[in-house]
Amino acid sequence: MTFASQPAFARTRNQLAMTLLEMLMAVSIGGLVLAAISFLFLNTLRSFAAIGNYTDLDNASRNALDVLSRDVRQAQVMTSFTTNQITLLSNDSNTLIYAFSPITHRFTRQYRGSTTVLLEQCEYLRFAIYQRNPSNGWTWYPVKSNLISTAKLIDVSWKCSRQILGEKVNTESVQTAKFVIRN
């Protein structure tokens, strides 16, 4: 009678057990499969977190651009300027301040005694001002330091980033826009 034709209860003990080599191979292959699945799972989680983070940064930037463009376009005049802060006289004759703090990494809007944080975790933000739109499409006319009230064009650029799992893995690209004071 051959081994294959023997009933299961008739097999000897040595014929039913796995050898040590077979057990080591099975554990090794199983460990490799589990490691590959874990690696894939963690990378997928990190990618989803990065996509969500980038979406959040993009939404905050869009909101900041919308608020800033509305206020600048409706402002009467610019009253003060530095590369990280502008002060405008709003259309209802109230002071409106947009300021970036490199210490707190926040871009804020101050209006009627209320401060609103527009952007957080900004690496850099810079304002530039010009007298008017270019006449030939390329040449911008810078404002002289003693004539800030002649500023009609405000250029703003910023870059924000966040960390995921302790590493800076995604950064929003530099946002830049130009707004014209229409009054």
Q: What is the pLDDT of residues 72-125, one digit of tens each?
A: 999 999 999 999 999 999 989 999 999 999 999 999 999 999 999 999 888 899
Rounded CA separation 181/78 (Å): 9
> pTM of the full predicted structure?
0.74
Helix count and strand count (H, E) for the chain: 2, 9
Helix segments in 83-145, DSSP class H = none
More confident residue, 82 or 150: 82
Is the pLDDT at 159 greater than 70? The verdict is: yes
What is the greatest pairwise CA distance in the chain? 109
Is the pLDDT at 32 greater than 90? The verdict is: yes
Is the pLDDT at 131 greater than 80? The verdict is: yes
Is the pLDDT at 9 greater than 70? The verdict is: no
Q: Are 151 and 129 in contact, with CB atoms under 8 Å apart?
A: yes
Tokens of 182: 């229409």
**Residue keyed to tokens 């014209």:** 180
